[in-house]
Amino acid sequence: MAARKQALRGATKARLHSPLLKGKTRADEIAKMAEDLGTPLLPWQRWMLDDMMRVDAKGMYIRKTTLLLVARQNGKSHLGRMRVIWGLFYGGETKHLIMSSNRATALMTFREIAWIIENAPHLKAGTKAIRYANGGERIELLNGATLDLVSDTRDSSRGRTADFLWIDEVREISKDGYTAAIPTTRARPNSQTLLTSNAGDAFSETLNTLRERALSAPPKSFGFYEYSAPQYCKITDRNAWAMSNPALGYTITEESLEEAVATNKIEDIRTELLCQWIDSLQSPWPHGVLEATSDATLQIPIGGYTVFGFDVSPSRRNASLVAGQIMGDGRIGVGILQTWESQVSVDDLKIAADIKGWADQYRPKMICYDKYTTQSISERLANAGQITQDVSGQQFYQACSDLLDGLVNGRVVHNGQEELIKQMNNCAAKTNDSSWRIVKRKSAGDVSAPISLAMVVSMLMKPQQVAAIYTE
């Protein structure tokens, strides 16, 4: 008898999250209420709320702001609804606001909350009025507590206060709308803000800023929980599905995810099913090419025929040095040698000195650069006796095409460095007639390594007239 396939369950704990708090939590109260309403919490919802709802010795919420990222259809709306209803009827909160970039989505959430209240006799008995008038939607309780909707605009939230603010679909929220909404909770002594979304792209300015803050050691008052697949994974990886879909095996089936993977665009699968971050909705790299060209055993040994390339980001906060070599089987092996990062601006003198140090070891045939962004560094390297090669303008278009062709044809191989994969996934493309190039300012983050990589690969693809190995 064939072994029965074990059912796959979604992850209870978020793959990325803030250090968990200890102490008393009011999540128990929300869980009991949800159970009494016949809509119990899923294990992941209970786990997240346990941390989000921790209070200090005075009963004050420790998490003032919470960012929850999870793939679509996993129950973030149900979690938000339960938090709202509990706050209105049991939590002692008087002012609730809900904001969404899509008014239709906000209205649906409002109507779902209203339906739950109207169909629960003990909740309905405490309700004064539910108003459905367009633009005047409101739930008002006998105890004076209210729930209102606000629009994603500069003026909609001004003058309002909130004990609980829920901003949904943060990936689409405008900067003006978010900036206007956040102050609504400042005047309330024990307020909370819940921010929910799936993954964004390069144009999700508000969400990108919040996530960056969450990943850079924020205070205890900022909670972060991200149910996402590892960036470097196949879209058919079922374990990755479980990481990004915590409702898998409860309200979501493997069959539904199989269907989604089979019928949707790769970019949509990455953001909406795997909750992964991509730079734009048009990645220059064909699906699976980075995985197919990865070799964990790849080395870039000293002594091989080597070409360097370096680049600095437009913000001047990041820079990368990459190396490429022609391998014994004719393929081009590439990898990052060093990256630089600064909160203000990277140091050109240090970069030049560091590259010179690497060059003294590898003796590269040439060091590639872009004269429009790294001229000063290249001049210092040239003055130090290094051979430099400008790869800018139309040459860079060709370099990008060479890199893409090399990856697609399996001629270029890398060792799967996490930073390299991250930057490759950041890339956005700009086309020019029949050619294209990596465009920095529309990319999701630093792309100095891929730009350097393109220059290196292009030079190594040119016919070589010297031996591939040098000797002392």
Same domain, 340 and 262: no
Task: Return the HEC string of the chain.
Answer: CCCCCCCCCCCCCCCEECCCCCCCECHHHHHHHHHHCCCCCCHHHHHHHHHHCEECCCCCECCCEEEEECCCCCCHHHHHHHHHHHHHHCCCCCEEEEEECCHHHHHHHHHHHHHHHHCCHHHHCCEEEEECCCCCCEEEECCCCEEEEECCCCCCCCCCCCCEEEEECHHHCCHHHHHHHHHHHCCCCCCEEEEEECCCCCCCHHHHHHHHHHCCCCCCCEEEEECCCCCCCCCCCHHHHHHHCCCECCCECHHHHHHHHHHCCHHHHHHHHCCCCCCCCCCCCCCCHHHHCECCCCCCCCCECEEEEEEECCCCCEEEEEEEEECCCCCEEEEEEEEEECCCCCCHHHHHHHHHHHHHHHCCCEEEECHHHHHHHHHHHHHCCCCEEECCCHHHHHHHHHHHHHHHCCCEEECCCHHHHHHHHHCCEEEECCEEEECCCCCCCCCHHHHHHHHHHHHHCCCCCCCCECCC
Same domain, 203 and 258: yes
Q: How far is CA 397 from the centre of its chain?
A: 28
Number of compact structural domains in the chain? 2
Same domain, 368 and 236: no
pLDDT at 207: 87
Same domain, 267 and 323: no
pLDDT at 366: 97
118 falls within a domain: yes
pLDDT at 470: 35
282 falls within a domain: no
Same domain, 264 and 293: no
471 falls within a domain: no
Same domain, 335 and 214: no
Sheet hosting strand 388-390, strand order edge to edge: 388-390, 366-369, 306-312, 318-326, 332-341, 412-414
pTM above 0.75, yes or no: no
Same domain, 218 and 312: no
**8 Å CB contact between 387 and 443:** no
pLDDT at 131: 94
Q: How far is CA 75 from the centre of its chain?
A: 19
Query: Which of 219, 249, 273 is a domain's end point?
Result: 273
Q: Which of 80, 76, 63 is nearest to 21 (CA)?
A: 63
Same domain, 308 and 235: no
87 falls within a domain: yes
Q: Which domain holds residue 377?
A: 289-460
Same domain, 105 and 173: yes
pLDDT at 427: 85
Same domain, 241 and 295: no
For residue 315, the domain's CATH number is 3.30.420.240
For residue 176, the domain's CATH number is 3.40.50.300
2 falls within a domain: no
Query: Which of 238, 273, 308 is a domain's end point?
Result: 273
Q: Treating both helix axes as pointing N-terminal to C-terminal, what angle do 76-89 and 43-52 enclose, rounded to 10 degrees?
A: 50
Same domain, 251 and 353: no
280 falls within a domain: no
pLDDT at 114: 96
pLDDT at 432: 57
Same domain, 265 and 409: no
pLDDT at 186: 85
9 falls within a domain: no
β-strand partners of 168 = 100
387 falls within a domain: yes
Q: Residue ranges of the chain with pLDDT lower than 50?
A: 1-4, 280-281, 465-472
pLDDT at 457: 97
